[in-house]
Every structure is written in C-alpha cells, then in structure tokens.
C-alpha cells in the first residue's frame, strides 16, 4: 500500500502542477499516454534495492547521448518497473520529468508530475529545476521566471546552484543579459554562491552580445573569489576577444591557460582560426600557428557554409604563414565556387593550382563534372569525362553518378542507363548512390513501376537499399496518391533494417499518413513518433511541421512549433517566416504559399502581427528572427519594412551582425541608394566586417555607372584592408564586374591602388587583367 502524503506536501504538489498547467500552451493527443499507466493490482512491496536498480536503468537512459535522452527506452524501462512491482519513488519521477524537460516536452513532464502527486510524493528542488529547464527550452521564459520566484515562497523549495544557472542560461539565450546579471547578483548575495558553470554561462552570454569588457571583469571576479576557470570558461572569453580582433589579449589568455595547465581544445583553436580569417591576421606564438591541415579544415567549413570569399581569404593567409596549399585546399575552394554558381572562378583556380605547382586529381575533375551536370551542360560534362583517360585518370563511381544524375535531370533516362552499363564494362560497379539517382530519375518521369523493378534488381546484385532509397519511392507514391503502396514500402524499409530519418518523418508530417486520423492528429502522431525514435528535426523538418499546422488552420500549434524550434536551438530561415507571414497575408487561402512572392506582399502591419503573435507565445524575437526577416525583406528591396525592422532591433538593443549588414548593403545598392550604401560599407569596415563580394560588385559598378569614380576607388582601397583574397578581388570585381561594364579607367586606377598597397595577385591574374584592359582601350580608340 502507498503511504498517504502529508497534506501540506500534497497541496504544494497540486499547486506546482497548476502553475505548470498555466505555462503550457500546447499538448499532443499522446501526452496523456506518455507515461505508462499503473498496474491494476497492488503488487507486494519489494526490497528497496530493486527500486534502486530500476532507477539506475532510467537514469542511464535519461543521460545517454550528448544530445537527448532515449525516450522510448526510458518509458519502456519505466513500464517494466511498474510490472515488476517496484514502487516508483521521487527519484523515479524526477528522472522522467527531467528526460521530458530536456526535450521541452512539457505536456509529458506534466503527466509525470501528476503521477508523482498521485503517488503521495512532493516535488523537490530537483523537480522544479527540471521544470524550469523545460520551460526555458520551450521558450516560455516568463513562466520559467514565475516558477523560479515561487519556488521558496509558495512551495518551500530551496534554490541551489542549478536553479540559478538554468534561469541565467535561459535569460542569456533570449538576449536578456541585464536580467541574467541581476539574477547572478542575487545569487552572489545569497548563501548559494555561483560555481564555475554559472560564471561560464554568464560570461558566454556577455561575450555573445559583445560586452567583452564585462566578461573580462567577471573572469577577474571569478578568480578573486577562488573559483577556478576551466577550458570552457576560457573558450567563451577567447570567442569574444576573437570577435573583436583582440589577438594580443587572446595570446595572454592562452598563456594563462598554459600556466594553469588547461590545454586548449579543438574548439579553442577553431575560434582562433575563425578570428584570424575574419580579421586577416595570423598568430605565431603559443602554438597558435595553424598547419596546412587546419587551414584546409577551416576552408572546407567556410565553403560548406556558403562563405566562399572567406575561404578564399584563407588562401592568402596560408601564403602569409609560409604554407603551400595542396590538392585538398584547391578542391575545397573549387567545390565552394561551383556551389555558389561561380564556375568561371573555379576554372581560374585550376590555373592558380598550376602556378602553385599543384596537380588536379580525380576529385578535382569530379567536382567540375558534377557542377556542369547541375547546370545542365551535359555535352561539356561528357567532353571533360572523355578526356580523363588522356590525363591518366580513371573515372570512379562519383563521376559516373554525377553524369547519371545529369541525364536524369533532363529526363534522358536511356542515356543514364547506358552510362550504368558503361560503368560495368569499365569494371566500375554501380553503388547504392548510383541506383538511388536512377530510381529518383525514373520517379520524376513517372516511371514508378520501373523504379520498383530497379529496387529489386539492386537487391539481387547484393546492393542493400538505404533509407534514402525508400524515401524516394515513398515520396513518389504519396505524390501519386498511392497511400497503401507507400505504407507497404515503409514496412519494407523497416523490415530491411533501415530506420526512418528526418526526410521520412517530413513526408509523414506533410501528408495524410495515418489512416483515419484528422490532419491535426496526423501531424501530432508523426512528431511524437519522430521524438520517440530519437530523430532530431532540422530546419526543413520544422518548416514542414509549421506549414502543416498552418495548412490545417492550427495557428497556435504552428507558433508553438516555431517556439520549440527556437528553444532547441535551430535558427529559423526565410522559409520559416514566409510560411507564417503567408498565413497572415492569406488567412483564407493557405494554399497560396509562394516562398519568394510573400516577401513582395508583406507589409509593416503583417510584421507587427507576427511579433505580437510571437510575444503571445512567450517567444520574444531574437537575433535569428531578425536575421531571417531582414534577409527576406532586403532580397526584395522592401525598404519601408526594412527600416521598421531596424528600429525594432535598435529598441531591443540587437546589433547587426556581419550577414545582416551585408543584406542591408545589397538592398541599398539594388535601390541605387549609393550614398547610404557607402555609409553602410564604411560602418562594416569600421567593425572589421567583410561584405560579400557580390555586394561589393553592386556598389563599385553602381558608383562607376553614376560617374563617381573617385568614391569607387576610395571604397576599393578600403576593401583591400578587409582581408580578401587578391586574385578573387581581381577576378570578380575588376574583370567580371567593372571590365565587362566598360570601366577600363577605373580598373587601371584600382590596379594602381593594389600595387601601392602591395596587394599582389598571382602573375597570371595580373597579366590577364592588363591584357583585357589594353584590348578594351584599343576597341574604344
């Protein structure tokens, strides 16, 4: 039999549940069933050691993995505990609540809290800390603050270090640094003094809003009070110092780390290298002298992130460090240029490779063939492919698959199959990626039957299909309204050992997957199933969830999904807000969604409504929101809305970062507001921001077109001090931009500025520009 709880404890538990219920704005249909029901019979009392062993298993599942607990295993283990007759105790329920709160599943946490009360167990400080963590992660910061205030007053729960640290971290994540500092000051005055984790959280928050001086003072206070910083603390401050370009102070801090025997880790060096790239400097002391491999990794990272001009700047930095780029370096840069549509620049990099004495390899040609196929230049791609044997290079699966993909893109399935046969004749057997490409091509030309036959063929050849293979087929079946066939294919995927991934669940969310369910139930069940499977949504998945809710007319759930997205955290993109704004512009026509056109329709009233709705959801707009909105509006040159947004940012003390500043620069140039564009450029240069070269092209060509050559040369001179790669500057700005527009005189003036500043491009680049300018002058004469 369970012991009855004291009346006071029961009342406190009831009040805590009511408080959490008020904080909840969203619950799924599965919430009530999240915690398995108790057994019907009262089992005999077991030895307490059995309870401890069950709790140990629950804690293991709750803690396993760096990102999130394994909920399915956790709940199964709890069910087994109940069946065994071991009575759950406070530790049991705290573990369940903690696991759900880590994922911001507040409805499920509440269900566990209800069970806790029914078991006669009063919540303790750990319980409230977990709930506060869940509220913070769900973006319900006001509710988290309310819970924090009520802990000692209403429920008699004492604060501990984690109570303060959780709230301080939540406030910092929301950009409310001053409030975080006030909570920290309250903590410092009380009996529960901050430890290294609390100091580190606040220090990191200060650095992220560029209050690095205060962060340094906080580190000093920390040391004076006998709290020893760890490598994470130092990393936070190093990140802030690098952001401001204070590399002498970074050096001193690294020396201090060495004295205190804190070895810099991978993140330490990543931040320093990122800072070096941003500010065009190089550190040559305290082992912060990156080698070729480190440069290659950072170049690859910038290229993958679309910041190719920053990756190219590292080529200049490598030369300054006395390091020679290798094939890996150039392959990353060529791939990056191709990925942003700059194949002409990529070809020039081949010439630069030769100047550096680096030979292209098979991967280099694979990148070019893939880029040509993506652009639909199949004849050129096939011509390059045919030349490979003369270069002593044997084509591999990647090259063949790129060509297969190219033919499938234009619907030439016969040529794609012919290439597959050629692969076999060249003793280069197709792999799963080749088959997936062909299956996708067949689906796009409505040959689903043949795609299924190809699936059977690959299995017979011993090539196991992947989740991607099944996703392609399921997607086409859903498009063709063949839901029963899609369900069978899904079962085949599971039975073959392939686990559903983000794409699978995105398909389930976007379609009426569950038979007999309403649209709301369909989305809810797919989301719950995804969480239980341990699959973590990305920005595309969240966009699918938000759009599905909007299409179903479930505005509150759409905004809750947006809040959850911010709390994970995953930065929303333009698509996220175009979905929400589209609903506000077309409330009676949710099918009218157009990701680009919506930014031409949105006005200040729509933006105000969006912000009001976000505030009602207790998710105050942060930098990621402003960034996505500013990008969408600037792309369509919506100046009135941009200016309104900038005023909102100013009122909330949110500063423009490098990307946002570049969006604004491009907007001014496209509107031919060159005075404002020049001011924006100067502001960016003053902050050591590096505008994208596309924006620089717009600015320089606009100034030259308007006859203001002097200002163009002045801006160009300032640009050279921002750390760009000089070859890319000549290629993109002088040759492809100004020369093509007939501004030969400006090109020569700018080349003279480069000479005066000793900004030396490669010999071939320099000779190429001089020749082109001379030809243009002859034509004019």
Look at residue 301 and tell me whether its pLDDT is greater than 60: yes
Between the two ends of the chain, the Cα-to-Cα distance in Å is 104
- pLDDT band for position 88 (50/70/90)? confident
Q: What is the pLDDT of residues 551-568, one digit of tens each?
A: 888 888 898 888 888 776
**Assigned token pair, 259:** 């004295």
- pLDDT band for position 587 (50/70/90)? low
User: Is residue 137 a contact partner of residue 102, using CB atoms and an 8 Å limit?
Assistant: yes
CATH of 1-152, one of 3.10.450, 3.40.50, 1.25.40, 1.10.1220: 1.25.40
Which residues have CB under 8 Å from 513's CB, separation 6+?
A: 483, 486, 487, 507, 522, 526
Q: How many angstroms separate the CA atoms of 260 and 267, rounded?
A: 18
- Which range among 9-13, 270-274, 298-302 has the greatest average pLDDT? 298-302
- pLDDT band for position 40 (50/70/90)? very low
Backbone angles phi, psi at 252, to 5 degrees: -60, -40
Q: CA separation (Å) from 216 to 148, 161, 199, 207?
A: 28, 22, 11, 9
More confident residue, 272 or 552: 552
- pLDDT band for position 300 (50/70/90)? confident
Query: Before 569, cis peptide (omega within 30)?
Result: yes
- HSE of 358, CA atoms in CB hemisphere, 13 A: 17
Look at residue 71 and tell me whether its pLDDT is greater than 80: no
**Assigned token pair, 705:** 């077109």
Q: What is the pLDDT of residue 660?
A: 94
Closest CA to 696 of 672, 673, 712: 712
Q: What is the pLDDT of residue 27?
A: 32
Closest CA to 181 of 195, 160, 198: 198
Q: How many angstroms separate the CA atoms of 520 and 559, rounded?
A: 14
pTM over 0.75: no
Q: What is the pLDDT of residues 620-659, one digit of tens each?
A: 787 889 999 999 999 999 999 999 999 988 887 788 888 9
Q: What is the mean predicted confidence (pLDDT) over 696-724? A: 94
Q: What is the mean predicted confidence (pLDDT) over 175-179? A: 88
Rounded (10°) CA dihedral 612, 616, 617, 622 = 40
Q: Report the helix count and the strand count for the chain, using DSSP H and E.
A: 42, 0
Look at residue 180 and tell me whether its pLDDT is greater than 50: yes
Q: How many angstroms separate the CA atoms of 142 and 147, rounded?
A: 9
Rounded (10°) CA dihedral 245, 247, 253, 259 = 160
Q: What is the pLDDT of residues 520-534, one digit of tens each?
A: 988 999 988 888 888
Look at residue 243 and tell me whether its pLDDT is greater than 60: yes
- pLDDT band for position 262 (50/70/90)? confident
The rounded mean pLDDT for the chain is 83
More confident residue, 712 or 54: 712
**Assigned token pair, 538:** 């990305």
Q: What is the pLDDT of residue 270?
A: 65
Cα angle 503-506-512, degrees, rounded to a multiple of 5: 135
Q: How many angstroms separate the CA atoms of 206 and 169, rounded?
A: 11
Q: What is the mean predicted confidence (pLDDT) over 693-716? A: 95
DSSP string, 184-213: HHHHHHSSS---HHHHHHHHHHHHHTT-HH
Q: What is the pLDDT of residue 591?
A: 52
Q: How many angstroms separate the CA atoms of 415 and 412, rounded?
A: 6
More confident residue, 537 or 23: 537
User: Is residue 773 a contact partner of residue 739, using CB atoms and an 8 Å limit?
Assistant: yes
More confident residue, 679 or 8: 679
Closest CA to 473 of 459, 457, 487: 487
Look at residue 189 and tell me whether its pLDDT is greater than 80: yes
Please tell me what DSSP assigns to residue 639: H
- pLDDT band for position 99 (50/70/90)? confident
pLDDT cut 90: percent of the chain above it: 42
Q: What is the pLDDT of residue 778?
A: 59
| Burial state string for 198-216 with b = 16 or more CB within 10 A and e = fewer than 16 | bbbbbbbbbbbbebbebbb
Q: What is the pLDDT of residues 412-433, one digit of tens each?
A: 999 999 998 888 888 888 999 9
Residues of the chain with CATH 1.25.40: 1-152
> Percentages helix, strand, coil for the chain, rounded to the nearest 5?
70, 0, 30
């Amino acid at each position: 039999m369970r012991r009855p709880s004291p009346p006071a404890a029961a009342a406190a538990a009831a009040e805590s549940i009511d408080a959490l219920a008020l904080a909840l704005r969203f619950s799924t249909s599965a919430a009530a069933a999240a915690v398995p029901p108790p057994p019907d019979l009262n089992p005999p009392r077991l030895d307490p050691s059995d309870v401890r062993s069950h709790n140990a298993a629950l804690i293991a599942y709750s803690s396993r993995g760096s990102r999130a607990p394994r909920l399915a295993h956790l709940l199964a283990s709890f069910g087994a505990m109940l069946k065994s007759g071991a009575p759950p105790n406070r530790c049991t329920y705290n573990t369940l609540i903690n696991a759900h709160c880590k994922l911001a599943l507040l409805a499920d946490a509440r269900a566990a809290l209800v069970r806790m009360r029914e078991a006669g167990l009063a919540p303790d400080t750990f319980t409230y800390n977990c709930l506060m963590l869940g509220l913070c992660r769900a973006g319900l910061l006001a509710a988290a603050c309310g819970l924090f205030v009520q802990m000692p007053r209403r429920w008699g729960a004492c604060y501990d270090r984690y109570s303060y640290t959780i709230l301080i971290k939540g406030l910092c994540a929301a950009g409310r640094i001053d409030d975080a500092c006030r909570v920290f000051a309250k903590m410092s005055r009380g009996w529960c003094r901050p430890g290294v984790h609390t100091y580190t959280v606040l220090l990191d928050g200060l650095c992220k809003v560029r209050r690095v001086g205060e962060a340094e003072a906080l580190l000093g206070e920390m040391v004076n009070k006998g709290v020893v910083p760890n490598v994470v603390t130092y990393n936070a401050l190093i990140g802030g110092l690098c952001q401001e370009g204070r590399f002498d102070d970074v050096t001193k801090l690294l020396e201090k780390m060495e004295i205190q025997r804190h070895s810099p880790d991978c993140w330490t060096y990543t931040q320093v290298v990122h800072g070096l790239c941003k500010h065009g400097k190089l550190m040559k002391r305290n082992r912060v002298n990156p080698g070729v491999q480190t440069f290659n990794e950072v170049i690859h990272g910038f290229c993958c992130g679309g910041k190719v001009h920053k990756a190219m700047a590292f080529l200049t930095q490598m030369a300054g460090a006395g390091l020679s780029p290798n094939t890996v370096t150039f392959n990353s840069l060529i791939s990056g240029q191709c990925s942003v549509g700059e194949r002409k620049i990529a070809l020039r990099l081949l010439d630069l490779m030769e100047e550096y004495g680096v030979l292209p390899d098979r991967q280099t040609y694979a990148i070019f063939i893939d880029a040509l196929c993506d652009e639909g230049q199949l004849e050129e791609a096939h011509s390059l492919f045919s030349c490979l044997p003369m270069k002593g290079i044997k084509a591999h699966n990647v090259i063949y698959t790129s060509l297969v993909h190219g033919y499938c893109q234009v619907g030439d399935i016969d040529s794609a199959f012919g290439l597959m046969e050629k692969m076999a004749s060249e003793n280069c057997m197709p792999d799963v990626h080749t088959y997936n490409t062909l299956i996708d091509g067949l689906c796009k030309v409505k040959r689903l039957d043949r795609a299924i036959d190809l699936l059977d063929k690959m299995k017979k050849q011993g090539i196991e299909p992947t989740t991607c293979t099944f996703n392609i087929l399921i997607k086409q079946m859903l498009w063709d309204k063949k839901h029963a066939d899609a369900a069978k294919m899904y079962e085949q995927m599971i039975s073959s050992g392939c686990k559903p991934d983000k794409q699978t669940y995105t398909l389930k969310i976007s379609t009426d997957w569950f038979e007999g369910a309403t649209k709301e139930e369909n989305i809810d069940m797919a989301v719950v199933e995804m969480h239980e499977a341990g699959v973590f949504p990305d920005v595309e998945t969240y966009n699918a969830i938000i759009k599905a809710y909007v299409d179903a007319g479930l505005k509150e759930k759409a905004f809750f999904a947006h809040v959850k997205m911010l709390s994970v955290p995953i930065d929303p993109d333009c698509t996220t807000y175009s979905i929400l704004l589209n609903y506000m512009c077309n409330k009676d026509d949710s099918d009218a969604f157009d990701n680009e056109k919506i930014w031409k329709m949105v006005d200040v009233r729509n933006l105000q409504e969006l912000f009001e709705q976000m505030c009602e959801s207790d998710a105050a707009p942060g930098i990621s929101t402003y960034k996505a909105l500013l990008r969408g509006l600037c792309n369509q040159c919506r100046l009135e809305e941009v200016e309104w947004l900038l005023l909102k940012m100013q009122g909330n003390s949110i500063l423009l970062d490098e990307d946002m500043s570049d969006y604004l620069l491009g907007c001014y140039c496209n509107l031919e507001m060159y005075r404002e564009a020049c001011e924006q450029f100067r502001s960016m240069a003053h902050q050591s921001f590096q505008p994208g070269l596309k924006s620089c092209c717009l600015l320089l060509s606009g100034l030259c077109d308007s006859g203001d050559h002097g200002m163009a040369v002045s801006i160009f001179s300032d640009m050279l001090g921002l750390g760009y790669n000089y070859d890319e500057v000549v290629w993109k700005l002088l040759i492809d931009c100004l020369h093509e527009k007939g501004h030969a005189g400006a090109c020569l003036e700018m080349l003279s500025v480069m000479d005066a500043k000793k900004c030396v491009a490669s010999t071939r680049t320099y000779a190429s520009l001089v020749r082109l300018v001379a030809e243009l002058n002859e034509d004019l004469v």
